Amino acid sequence: MSDLFKVYTPSEARTVFYQQFCMPSLKKEIVCLQQSLGRVLAQDVQAPENIPAFDRSSMDGYAVRAQDTFGASESLPAYLIPAGEILMGEEAQKPVHAQQAIYIPTGGMLPPDADAVVMKEYTTLVGDDLLEVVKSVGPGENVVKAGDDVGKGQVVLSEGHTIRSQDLGAFASLGIVEAAVYERPRIAIISTGDELVSPEKQVKVGQVRDINAYTLYAQVMEAGGMPVHMGIVRDNFAELKGKMTEALQEYDMVLISGGSSVGTRDVTVEVLESLGEPGVLVHGVSVSPGKPTIMAISQNKPVFGLPGHPVAAMTIFDLFVEEIICKLQGKQEKGLGRKSLKGELTRNVPSSPGREDYLRVAITAENGTFQVHPILGKSGLIFTMVKAQGIVKIPIERAGLEKGEQVTVRLF
């Protein structure tokens, strides 16, 4: 059994965990295009054809041979013979001969022998059989060539890429209607505590509603996992072990909410140690909020004992759990694409050296700069998170932050 509550720094805790965790083989599945957003590609995607598939106009105007316009200006126009019109969605078969021009709309197929398009604004029809051109064009001007966007056989997206909305458009342009992606990891969430009741119930004195099941459920979804809430388990060894055994058989990771402290009725560590090697690897991380965190492995599946206080549970998820969920679905890097910003802290915030502190903050914009307002409160107060727009990390070597200091806010 691991030393009880031997506190590790966050970097030490990660090292200890990944020394024991062997990434499982990732499973693949085929999903339709509409269901692929946010999923991770399981193989490279190659373009089966050129995009665009043909030379086309990027402007409304006239398809011409560029040499027939050389030297054209307002004082010395070039005169060409109108020779028809290109229709959208139809193949342009009639060639442009010397001294001819064919009207072409934006996106229309460039006709044979044409190599440029004169914008309509620089032309005037003189009667029905003469076109005045007052601006010359060079070869390729106002033309999108076949394959300019992507060439046939080119790798357009690589394995490990997280599919975005613009990627769906790229797939559609190539005629790709399915994507090979990694399966989403299934994450079991177990709430523990004799005091917990479901949110729909009226609480009695001494009881609290189960908050963490819902915040963790949402965080798992944001990270790309598939959360399953397995209900509330009382502080009972046999009951928790039975639920844990079921979860480890069915799911890829287990999150236990509550039961991570060192109280006499917190049986999580005892249960985890009974489920086989290596068991509990870390029990205690030098962060605030979230010190009594448990990191364990059973059947090569990650198990986290998260603090019962909602703010602490959410902070530890952000610090450790999200990264593993990303890895379990093939993402190349941790993160949800969250933005950050720099702003000026509006008050002094003390901290203890040797501990990473995570400060909830609100943000306002004043005189062209962002003002960062600390939100103080115990880690059991969920509405401190509701009021917050992001978090600021106080480094482990600092004794706090000073008013007026520039800080980086990671936005929710």
* pLDDT tens for each residue of 248-291: 999 999 999 986 665 545 689 999 999 988 999 999 999 999 99
- Residue 274 class from Cβ within 10 Å (0-12 exposed, 13-18 middle, 19+ buried)? middle
Sequence spans of domains, the chain: 10-27+183-328, 28-51+148-182, 56-144, 340-411
Collect all residues with Cβ–Cβ distance below 8 Å to 193 and sequence separation of at least 6: 232, 234, 235, 258, 259, 308
Topology annotation, domain 28-51+148-182: Molybdopterin biosynthesis moea protein, domain 2 (3.90.105)
Beta bridge partners of 303: 254, 296
Q: Beta 253-257 vs 186-192: how paired, if at all?
A: parallel
pTM, two decimals, is: 0.83
- Residue 234 class from Cβ within 10 Å (0-12 exposed, 13-18 middle, 19+ buried)? middle
Cis before residue 105, ω within 30 degrees of 0?
no
With cut-offs at 50, 70 and 90, classify the pLDDT of residue 128.
confident
pLDDT higher than threshold 80 for residue 233: yes
Domain 10-27+183-328, architecture per CATH: 3-Layer(aba) Sandwich (3.40)
At residue 263, the pLDDT reads: 58
At residue 258, the pLDDT reads: 85
At residue 283, the pLDDT reads: 94
Collect all residues with Cβ–Cβ distance below 8 Å to 264 and sequence separation of at least 6: none
At residue 249, the pLDDT reads: 96
What's the start-to-end Cα distance of the chain, in Å?
A: 37
pLDDT higher than threshold 80 for residue 370: yes
pLDDT tens figures, 166-218: 999 999 999 999 999 999 999 999 999 889 999 999 989 989 999 999 999 99
Average pLDDT, the chain: 93
The answer to whether domain 28-51+148-182 and domain 340-411 are alike in fold is no
Q: Which CATH number is 56-144 given?
A: 2.170.190.11
- Tokens 């966007």 found at: 149
With cut-offs at 50, 70 and 90, classify the pLDDT of residue 409.
very high
Per-residue burial over 114-144, b if 16 or more Cβ lie within 10 Å, else e, is bbbbbbeebbeeeeeeebebbbbbeeebbbb
At residue 1, the pLDDT reads: 42
- Tokens 């509603």 found at: 209
Q: Beta 131-133 vs 349-350: how paired, if at all?
A: unpaired
pLDDT higher than threshold 70 for residue 316: yes
CA distance 155 to 55: 21
Taking every pair of Cα atoms in the chain, the longest distance, rounded to a whole number of angstroms, is 98
At residue 196, the pLDDT reads: 92
Pick the CATH number of 340-411 from 2.40.50.100, 3.40.1370.10, 3.80.10.10, 2.40.340.10: 2.40.340.10
For residue 308, the number of C-alpha atoms closer than 13 Å in the C-beta half-sphere is: 19
At residue 412, the pLDDT reads: 86
pLDDT higher than threshold 60 for residue 336: no
Beta bridge partners of 45: 157
H or E element that contains 298: strand 294-298
With cut-offs at 50, 70 and 90, classify the pLDDT of residue 5.
low
pLDDT higher than threshold 90 for residue 2: no
**DSSP structural state of residue 321:** I
Cis before residue 278, ω within 30 degrees of 0?
yes
At residue 120, the pLDDT reads: 97
For residues 266 and 235, is the Cβ–Cβ distance under 8 A?
yes
Q: Give mean pLDDT, residues 350-364.
A: 94
pLDDT tens figures, 34-79: 999 999 999 999 999 999 999 999 999 999 999 999 999 999 999 9
